[in-house]
Amino acid sequence: MKIVSGVYQIKLPFPLDMPGHVNVYVVEGSKGNILVDSGWGGSEGLWAFREGLRENRLKFQDINWIVITHIHPDHYSLASKLKEFCGAEVAMHRVEAELINSRYKDFSGLLKEIEEELSKNGVPQSELSELKEASLWMEQFVSPDLPDVMLDDGDRLSNGSFEFEVLRTPGHSPGHICLYEPRKRWLFCGDHVLFETIPHVGLHPQSGDNPLRDYINSLKIVEALKIVFIFPGHGPVFNSLKLRAAEILYHHEQRERAIIKAMSGGLKTAYQIATEIPWRAEAGGVAFKDLTPWDRRLAVLETIAHLKLLTFEGEIGKIDQDGVSLYLAKD
Ligand SMILES: [Zn+2]
Ligand SMILES: [Zn+2]
């Protein structure tokens, strides 16, 4: 689907009949085309991408560069295959590229670290394996090749018709980037700002030390820009960036309040707090116990990210007891 002159959106399905889709974009230029993100791997994703090209009268060979906003499987898995079909170069931020090997090639070490993180934050033994292994099925879709081009914050990418500035926006992922076209006032933003859902920000072995603080700072970077079209990785294209950023910040303030309220009963682990606060507000609110194992893991990691920021700001206290982190609200 052509969104504006020079920009085509292709919606690619999630695998295994999961609901939802990921948006990838082809930006046409006089000196070649840029593909922003690649979608899920597997034959279904490749087929949908080919159909998307055909509907827009584009060809694989028309794509010269594949820019990956971040290496989550829904944005990066198909990159190697598309590179092969298009003869294109793959580019991403160097911080993101550094995570590829530990996340997708030698992930036994990462799994162990995730288990330790969950255990330290109070996830009971009975739930530990389920939460630790909740993302393992995704590996089959990823061809974990390193990029051809390492990007840095402030780099410029031109295809002859449009020139993009690379903006590093850590938070959702530490090397996440947005592509900003200042003359057109476009922002291709991956999972940094979404219109219908709140981007996940959790603390885990690959998240950076204080991801929620990073995320809020990154939100301020893009919020200050004058943008006409925001092209996100999921959901509709939109134009009200300041309003959406304010809604996302409000969501985090509400969650912070819920977390502090849950802490009124004394010392608690992140897991205990996560079980006591509401989740998936956009779906009318879902209790922790009714979430899927994957969503329960995300919920615990998001709670830890909030607790980390609150501790950093001196709003709450933290003690480590017998290898378990316990948090306490201040009076
Ligand atoms: Zn993501
Ligand atoms: Zn995504």
Question: Of the bound ligands, which one is closest to the alpha carbon of residue 21?
Answer: 2
Where do we find the tokens 């590179």? 83
Cα(199) to centroid(ligand 1), Å: 8
31 Cα: distance to centroid of ligand 2 (angstroms): 29
Confidence bin at 147 (pLDDT 50/70/90)? very high
> For the residues 144-170, what does the mean pLDDT come to?
97
Q: Distance from the CA of 327 to the center of ligand 1, in angstroms? A: 28
pLDDT tens-digit series, residues 239-253: 999 999 999 999 999
pLDDT in the model for residue 107: 80
Q: How confident is the model at residue 135 (pLDDT cuts 50, 70, 90)?
A: confident
From the CA of 22, the nearest ligand is 2
Token reading at 255: 């969650």
CB 100 within 8 A of CB 139: no
Q: Is the pLDDT of residue 281 over 80?
A: no
Token pair listed for 22: 């990921």
Task: Report the separation in Å between the CA atom of 191 and the middle of ligand 1, taken as the mean of its atom positions.
Answer: 5
> 153: CA distance to ligand 2 center in Å?
21
Ligand nearest to the CA of 233: 2
What pLDDT score was predicted for residue 211?
Answer: 98
Write phi, then psi, for 279 (nearest 5 degrees): -125, 165
* 41 — pLDDT class (breaks 50, 70, 90): confident
Nearest ligand, CA 38: 2
CA of 176 to the centre of ligand 1 (A): 9
What value, to the nearest 5°, has the Cα angle with vertex 153 and ends 147 and 157?
65
- Provide the pLDDT for residue 42: 82
Residue 75, classified by CB atoms within 10 Å of its CB into exposed (0-12), middle (13-18) or buried (19+), is buried
Q: Confirm if 72 and 78 have CB atoms less than 8 A apart.
A: no
Distance from Cα 331 to the centre of ligand 1, integer Å: 37
pTM for the predicted model, two decimal places: 0.95
How many Å lie between the centroid of ligand 1 and the Cα of residue 144? Answer: 16
Residue 165 φ/ψ, nearest 5 degrees:
-100, 135
Find the 1 Cα to ligand 1 centroid distance in Å: 23
Tell me which ligand sits closest to the C-alpha of residue 40: 2
Residue 84, pLDDT score: 93
Ligand closest to CA 169: 1
Note the pLDDT of residue 230.
97
Give the pair of three-digit tokens for residue 136: 């393992």
* CA–centroid distance, residue 75 to ligand 2 (Å): 6
Cα–ligand 1 centroid distance for 74 (angstroms): 7
Q: Which ligand has the minimum distance to the alpha carbon of residue 194?
A: 2
Number of CB atoms found within 10 A of residue 310's CB: 21
C-alpha 76 to ligand 2 mean position (Å)? 9
Q: Which CATH class is domain 2-102+138-239?
A: alpha beta
User: Tens digit of pLDDT for each residue in 78-116?
Assistant: 999 999 999 999 999 999 999 999 888 888 888 999 999
Alpha helices for the chain (secondary structure H): 43-55, 73-76, 79-86, 94-97, 100, 107-120, 125-132, 211-223, 241-262, 270-276, 293-312
Q: Ligand nearest 70 Cα, by number?
A: 1
Name the nearest CA neighbour of 150 among 235, 228, 90, 66.
90
User: What is the share, in percent, of the chain residues with pLDDT greater than 70?
Assistant: 99
pLDDT for res 90: 98
Query: Measured between alpha carbons, how far is 23 from 10 in angstroms, rounded to an integer?
Result: 6
Phi and psi based region of residue 264 (left: phi greater than 0; alpha: psi -120 to 50; beta: remaining): alpha
Per-residue confidence (pLDDT) for residue 268, from 0 to 100: 97
